[in-house]
Amino acid sequence: GENVEQHPSTLSVQEGDSAVIKCTYSDSASNYFPWYKQELGKRPQLIIDIRSNVGEKKDQRIAVTLNKTAKHFSLHITETQPEDSAVYFCAATYNQGGKLIFGQGTELSVKP
Amino acid sequence: NAGVTQTPKFRVLKTGQSMTLLCAQDMNHEYMYWYRQDPGMGLRLIHYSVGEGTTAKGEVPDGYNVSRLKKQNFLLGLESAAPSQTSVYFCASSLGPSRGTEAFFGQGTRLTVV
């Protein structure tokens, strides 16, 4: 089937610590795995993405890793700041990229 | 360039009433999506379209219909609203997997069915 599982559902860290969010996907996923950030009352926005021919991608304090064998990918945020507090969603594409399926979301809280 | 625009932003319906949500994009995107967002459930795909005149079912299609008569518009219809359809609805669009797949979201429609 087409499924994306995301953990944890909530995550609380101290400012300056790192945060890691993990997702697993089912067999039939295509080659594109994006991460979105949704601030309270706002629309989701892309923060980073990775394609299945790449194992890791970094953008300043954010990195994503992909393990194709285990069928999981993770979001890493280093040196967290209060403005990182939001809900984060992972996603995977199915049906040759036509379907974009999201995980259940992780509510990240960064305490100053 | 407005991006993705949803109409209306808020709506209250009585059980059994019908309504149509409109999603319009001005980025010439092929792919368009309708999601619903409920607490603890993430973004669940209702229906999607890979081009003008085509639609397909997502994860939770029951109780909804869609149409993509024009490339820039994707309509979501509720024929007989039920309280279980109370949710925030998001539309999104993208160029598609072969041309860059970032999905851009509308601002959301908050629907309450009483």
Minimal Cβ distance to B50: which of A2, A9, A98: A98
- pLDDT tens across A47-98, in order? 999 987 778 999 999 999 999 888 999 999 999 999 999 999 999 988 776 7
Q: Do A34 and B101 touch (CB under 8 A)?
A: yes
CB A38 within 8 A of CB A106: no
The pLDDT value given to residue B93: 96
B5-15 core/surface letters (b: 16 or more CB in 10 A; e: else): ebeeeebebee
Enumerate the residues of chain A whose CB falls inside 8 A of the CB of residue B97.
Answer: 30-32, 93, 96-98
Whole-number Å distance between alpha carbons of A27 and A76: 23
pLDDT exceeds 90 at position A40: yes
Ranges in chain B, pLDDT < 50: none
Chain A hits for B35, CB-CB cut-off 8 Å, are 102
If you write DSSP's letter for every residue of A60-88 in order, what string do you get? TTEEEEEETTTTEEEEEE-S--GGG-EEE
pLDDT computed for residue B101 by the predictor: 77
pLDDT of res. A51: 86
Residue ranges of B 42-101 with Cβ closer than 8 A to chain A = 42-45, 48, 50, 56, 58-59, 90, 92, 94, 96-98, 101
Q: What is the largest CA-CA distance in chain B?
A: 43
- Reported as half-sphere exposure (CB side, CA atoms, 13 A), residue A74 has a value of 12
Per the CB < 8 Å rule, is B41 touching A104?
Answer: yes
Q: Which pLDDT score is estimated for A80?
A: 98
Residue A15's DSSP bridge partners are: none
User: For B42, which of A30, A34, A103 is closest by C-beta distance?
Assistant: A103
pLDDT of residue A29: 77
Check if B41 contacts A (Cβ < 8 Å).
yes
- Residue listed under structure tokens 């305490």: A111
